[in-house]
Structure 1
Amino acid sequence: MDFGEWANNPNFSGLGDKFHACISSLAIHHLEDEMKLKLFERIRESLNAGGCFWNADPLLAESAAIKDIYQAAREDWARNQGETLAQIRANVGTSVSYGYSNPDRLATLSAQLEMLVKARFETVAVPWKYYGMAVFGGFVN
């Protein structure tokens, strides 16, 4: 399913109306920022009181200096795996556009936290971050 369609269509059927939790991993970073915000708003509207949303995704670096630090960390990780980043990337599939999803459309962590606040999540948190990857989300009352 294209979650962009779900975000844009409040009458979308097939998923149910309310949820206790929503979890995403390695998917939302394929949306443009405008659609990320719409999706966060739709998720917020769909959560029961006390519900939560967590997303694990790669991040856009906040600056050129931080981008270099993230790159060095990825290269170090690859060396520890006994490979180069080029070898690892050769084994990973490529993204293709489909519906609202595109190849990587990374956003900074701060921009996405702002989107969650704008979407009316009452509590926003980052329980885990490692260089250019993070788990972030929030709770509704």
Structure 2
Amino acid sequence: MTQRNVTHGTFCIERRFDAAPARVFKAFSDIKAKQQWFNGPPGWVRNHHELDFRVGGQEISDVGPPGGMHHIFQARYWDIVPNERIVFSYDMQMDRTRISVSLTTVELRPDGGGTRLCFTEQGVFFADSDGPDGREEGTKFLLDALAVSLTEAPADA
């Protein structure tokens, strides 16, 4: 029997965005808005993305370098409070190998004319993953991309 070690990890990332909570929420809930920031590093391609943003709905995203390994995100939404909170679980796969399973909470709070976002992830990372530290760095990269998309997109986007 093959033994697979696991590492457990939790991290919280807080960010402030110069956009109203409704606009930040839309960046998570609307597929066109989400595709502006929910990608990989420059040069990666989106092979597939679908989003059924509702309690019980699913999201699947498959991205990666051209001709390279597929990074597959499969999520289920458990709790959605518009403009305030999103709770989802997801697994990540590299090609066909599951590397992690996580529970994530995204909280949005008004902060002056902007939004304070608190992103909390609790994960189980398998032997083939880059672990909690790598996931936290990847999440920071995505939240940086979210910040850019909020400054580049029209206010009604």
Return the TM-score normalized by structure 1: 0.24
Task: Select the structure that is richer in strand.
Answer: 2
Which structure exhibits the higher relative contact order, with contacts defined as CA atoms closer than 8 Å and separated by 6 or more residues?
A: 1
Mark the structure with the bigger radius of gyration. Answer: 1
Return the TM-score normalized by structure 2: 0.22
